[in-house]
Structure 1
Amino acid sequence: MALPPSSRQVRAFLALVHHLKFTRAAQELNVSQPTLTVQINQLEEQLGIKLFDRNKRRVELTPAGRNILPLMERLSMDMDEILLAATDLTYARRGIVKIAALPSVAASFLPRAIMVFRDQNPGIEINVWDVVGEDIIKLVKAEEVDFGIGTRISSDRTIKVEDYVSDSLCAFFPVGHPLANAAPVLQISDFASYPLVLTRKNSTVRVLFERSMEREGCEVSVVMEANYMSTALSMVRAGVGVAILPTSAVEAGNMTGLAYKLVDAPWFNRRVGIIRKADRSLQPVAQRFIETMHSMPDLRTDESFKSVRRLDKVPARISGPGGGRSDGFLASVP
């Protein structure tokens, strides 16, 4: 069975077709004439056909060589396109980055990272799936996305998570609610007696909430579940109950008429990381996007999210209206 030609053999063939002289073809390729002769001989041997008639005075294509020529030209163009595409991918000049992110991430710092990345890499397309934590893991494991930005909610050796930022869970309630007169930082006992609005069971917020309730041995009344934080906030505004949501809900929904306070409880701090499949390398453009995220320190001092390292040293803080901040005090928007 004939072996396919190598890229060097293809270039040698085309150079010799162009010049019909071994000396000039070798000069074009920057190789010695004996090396070129070996490449042509090996190509003919591999294909099992004679491509050139040559003697001391001239070199001419054989009929078989003329038939092969268009195919060799097409193969050379394909090789050039492959090299060009590989170079573009390596230097982030083309490609698609697919990201699965928590809705809270997609509504807060991710859009800013995308805009910075697009300014630096205009030829790259970015697709975002804003889904709950469980679905992020599924998309990453199925390789339907390059990476995820979410929370590890179970032990799984097929994925690896690089800590990136952290946020805290808060109680959201209508302005004028009794919780407004409670301590600046709430305990579980402060809100446990009120009807609660929570995200659904496949969300990372719900997983953390239930772990904390189990540890505390606390029973609560869940009157409503929502897929999106904006929906939960609307339920709170209507008086359905108190919502337990991350601080990023402030950006994700309409806070008119609502207030919120930090809750000091086990598991109520949520670490959000970059989730990748453990045994897979990232494509260069996806790695470049992650590097962009790491190069933007303001992303990690977001009003809603905190740098993981910084959070370990500094007490959590809640942003107030108009971008103001207060250490654990009531924040409301009239």
Structure 2
Amino acid sequence: MDLRQLAFFVAVAEELNFSRAAEKMAIVQPALSRQIQQLEDDLGVLLFKRDKRNVALTPAGAYLLTQARQLRLTVADIVTQTQRVHNGQIGTLRIGHPGSALYSILPDTLVTLKGRYPDVTTSLAEISERELFESLLSHRVDVGLTREVNTDSRIQSVHLFAESLALVVPDTHPLAAGPFTGLEQCRHESFILCSLDASLNYGRLLMGLFEQSGYLPHKVYEANYGATVLRLVEKELGLAILPISYQHGSSLRLRFLPLPTKTDMYVIWRTDDLNPVLHNFLAICRETVALLETEAFAITT
């Protein structure tokens, strides 16, 4: 028994007339009769009681009609769902990101993704830059937002935008009232900074700022998560340098003083990843950047 035979059976069962059923199925009547006979032989049951004038379903035929109709609906649903998976309308996406992405591109991207593809399941993980690349290659995440430049052929990378860095100070700090002219004014301050590992682009960028200002920072705390850094600065435990996007949505008692240096944001994913949800996400990322450019996020592509 196959789906084609079932379709012929349903046509005859609904029409109770072989000629009309054959016309409906665009098949000659003798061929249709052979298909029904073959189906009955395969099942070992009589599906129709027929004579020269009438065709009627047997109890077995009536049961099969009910099941065949349900099966056709199931098959149609399988076809539809398979197409939706192919189009990225159903699936999962695991995103690794720095904390600053939650204050810039990520929320609006997720809103659009949810509105356009409500049956996609998304998980988020705020992880360090170094861990992000490892997580991507070990398939713990599917896509990442990062400030690191990719040099691995196994990973694809697209530049999304650049944004200014900012000196973050408590709102009670003298610099909060201005004027602020540069990091040269912070020579004797304590800093809360991320790891300044020379192998990380972001660490080198920060070190370059201090070197240009003629001193090395006095680092009193090391923290790689922006939310932690912000709270420590608010408690007057030191100053920090963070992407300026952190000022959006922050209700802490802080001031963000723009610096002339910019930091880049990239989206990265595995080169061989065929997940259609991923590629929908990448398209939405680009759309979001275009929208943010028209708002007060101080970003540039």
Partner-residue secondary structure (3-state), 2:32: helix
Structure 1 distance, partners of 2:266, 2:61, is 58
Task: Kindly provide the amino acid, as one letter, of the partner of residue 244 in structure 1.
Answer: I
1:152-186 per-residue CA deviation (whole Å, 9 max, x = no partner) reads 455333321222122233332343149956635x4
Classify 1:259/1:70 alpha carbon distance in 2 versus 1 (closer, same or farther; 3 Å): closer
Task: Kindly provide the amino acid, as one letter, of the partner of residue 11 in structure 2.
Answer: A
**Residue in structure 2 matched with residue 241 of structure 1 by the alignment:** 238
2:273 pairs with 1:280: yes
Structure 2 distance, partners of 1:256, 1:53, is 80
Partner-residue secondary structure (3-state), 1:77: helix
**Residue in structure 2 matched with residue 170 of structure 1 by the alignment:** 166
Counterpart of 1:231 (choices 221, 228, 233) is 228
With normalisation by structure 1, the TM-score equals: 0.65
Highest RCO, 1 vs 2 (Cα 8 Å, sep ≥ 6):
2
2:299 pairs with 1:306: yes
Structure 1 distance, partners of 2:291, 2:179, is 33
- Contact 2:47 / 2:60 at 8 angstroms: preserved in 1? no
**Residue in structure 1 matched with residue 190 of structure 2 by the alignment:** 195
- Contact 1:160 / 1:276 at 8 angstroms: preserved in 2? yes
Residue range with higher mean Cα deviation, 129-138 or 175-184: 175-184
Classify 1:146/1:69 alpha carbon distance in 2 versus 1 (closer, same or farther; 3 Å): farther
Partner-residue secondary structure (3-state), 1:280: coil
After the TM superposition, which residues 140-179 of structure 1 pair with which residues of structure 2 at under 5 Å, given as runs? 140-141=136-137, 147-174=143-170, 175-177=173-175
1:19-55 per-residue CA deviation (whole Å, 9 max, x = no partner) reads 34433223333x222696399379759x955566788
Structure 2 distance, partners of 1:113, 1:15, is 48
| Matched length | 291
Structure 2 distance, partners of 1:159, 1:14, is 52
- Contact 2:150 / 2:157 at 8 angstroms: preserved in 1? no
Structure 2 distance, partners of 1:129, 1:191, is 36
- Contact 1:107 / 1:252 at 8 angstroms: preserved in 2? yes
- Contact 1:99 / 1:146 at 8 angstroms: preserved in 2? yes
With normalisation by structure 2, the TM-score equals: 0.70
Structure 2 distance, partners of 1:178, 1:80, is 64
Structure 2 distance, partners of 1:56, 1:27, is 20
Counterpart of 1:121 (choices 106, 116, 119) is 116
Report the Cα offset of residue 82 of structure 1. 1.2
Partner-residue secondary structure (3-state), 2:293: helix
2:258 pairs with 1:261: yes
Structure 2 distance, partners of 1:35, 1:107, is 70
- Contact 1:104 / 1:252 at 8 angstroms: preserved in 2? no
After the TM superposition, which residues 1-334 of structure 1 pair with which residues of structure 2 at under 5 Å, given as runs? 5=2, 7-29=3-25, 31-33=26-28, 37=32, 40=35, 44=39, 48-49=42-43, 57=52, 72-86=68-82, 98-118=94-114, 121=116, 123-124=118-119, 127-132=122-127, 133-137=129-133, 140-141=136-137, 147-174=143-170, 175-177=173-175, 183-184=181-182, 186=183, 191=186, 194-199=189-194, 207-212=200-205, 213=207, 219-251=216-248, 253-254=250-251, 256-262=253-259, 264=261, 269-283=262-276, 287-296=279-288, 297-304=290-297, 306-308=299-301
Structure 2 distance, partners of 1:232, 1:243, is 7
Q: Which runs of 5+ in 1 are unaligned?
A: 309-334
Residue range with higher mean Cα deviation, 83-92 or 294-303: 83-92
Structure 1 distance, partners of 2:136, 2:294, is 26
- Contact 1:99 / 1:148 at 8 angstroms: preserved in 2? yes
The alignment yields a C-alpha RMSD, in angstroms, of 4.5
Task: Kindly provide the amino acid, as one letter, of the partner of residue 261 in structure 1.
Answer: P
- Contact 1:103 / 1:130 at 8 angstroms: preserved in 2? no
1:37-80 per-residue CA deviation (whole Å, 9 max, x = no partner) reads 399379759x9555667888476778987786665444323212
Task: Kindly provide the amino acid, as one letter, of the partner of residue 307 in structure 1.
Answer: T
